[in-house]
Amino acid sequence: MLRIFALSLALLLSGQAFAQTSSVPGELLKNTRRQNGDQINVCFDTSSVISAFDHEVAQAIGDALFLKVNPVEGFGGFPVNGDGFMDELMLAMNNTCDIFMGVSVQTNSPFPEWASVTRPYATIPFVLAVEDASWNSWADIPRDRKIGTALQSVGELVYITWSLQQPEAERWKRLPYADNKLMAKRVLDGTLGGMLLWQPALRKLQSEQPETAALRVIELAPVPATAIKVGAVVSSRDTFLRTQVDQAIDALVADGTIAALLEKYGYTGEAGDQ
């Protein structure tokens, strides 16, 4: 499960709670400011399916700012609901990281007061993948076919919200999965009519499991389109750095660098905030 999914969902569900509470012991937090000179420590989520993409974006940002990028692997292994992630992120941002790449920076998502988010450097959608060649949109799938969803993802949350607004006869039954490989297997064996997941997760599946090449992406209508806006976190005390990173992201979007990286990794979507 991508940490940005769990983080975004947890933030949406918890409101401002993160800004008020933290279980990080004070003695673990360094109180001195780092003096990195012309270097910058960039941290990454070890569980992210777009980690390689994030590394290249971070390097491009560093190059644009004439800074040496020191990659620092972050952390992973959290529960699906993201429990404990914010404490680890707070500790990392205070003690080690100047930037933490690859987090969801959805509009109106509240962040703790110690965190400041950058502009999105990419907007990447959720997709519906099916095997049946006769279906071109979600609306073509018979209502008696079940749909798999990536557990506690933003895409699943949007589908649940949409579904609750429809008459029962117009809904599809949802089966949540924490394991994308198992979900794909169930689409291929006919247990599921399709599966809703983040497009990079589908790309990863298809690069690792040849049999999933039979899966094809169809339109989400009538379900609303959903995308993750991917950006980075900096410390709220580093306002100058955040401004510089935002300007670098704008330049990399404008000159096509981000779009070229999306194409390189086979990710659909758009560079920047779309």
Are residues 151 and 212 both part of a single domain? yes
Domains contained in the chain, number: 2
Q: What is the CATH number of the domain that holds 64?
A: 3.40.190.10
**Contact predicate 45/4, CB 8 Å:** yes
Do residue 64 and residue 189 come from a single domain? no
Could you tell me if 135 and 8 lie in one domain? no
**Looking at the domain assignment, is residue 267 inside a domain?**
yes
Helix (H) or strand (E) holding 203: helix 199-208
| pLDDT score, position 77 | 62
pLDDT at 80: 58
Task: Give 153: exposed, middle or buried? Use CB within 10 Å, 0-12, 13-18, 19+.
Answer: buried
State the pLDDT at residue 99.
Answer: 94
Q: Please report the pLDDT score of residue 19 as a whole number.
A: 37
Residue 235 shares a structural domain with residue 100: yes
- Does residue 85 lie within any of the structural domains? yes
* Inter-CA distances, 49 with 2, 44, 54, 102, Å: 7, 11, 10, 10
Are residues 114 and 140 both part of a single domain? no
Q: Do the bridges between strand 147-150 and strand 99-104 make them parallel or antiparallel, or are there none, so unpaired?
A: unpaired
Query: Do 244 and 188 have their domain in common?
Result: no
Residues 133 and 113 in one domain: no
Q: Are 47 and 175 part of one and the same domain?
A: no
Range of the domain at 118: 3-15+36-123+228-271
Q: Which pLDDT score, from 0 to 100, does residue 149 have? A: 98
Tens-binned pLDDT, residue by residue, of the chain (274 aa): 344 444 444 433 333 333 334 565 554 455 655 556 689 999 998 888 999 999 999 999 999 999 999 998 777 666 555 666 777 888 878 788 999 999 888 766 667 888 889 999 999 999 999 999 999 999 999 999 999 999 989 999 999 999 999 999 999 999 999 999 999 999 999 999 999 999 999 999 999 999 999 999 999 999 999 999 999 999 888 899 999 999 999 999 999 999 999 999 999 999 998 7
180 and 60 within one domain: no
Same domain assignment for residues 129 and 213:
yes
Answer whether residue 238 is part of any domain: yes
Same domain, 7 and 115: yes
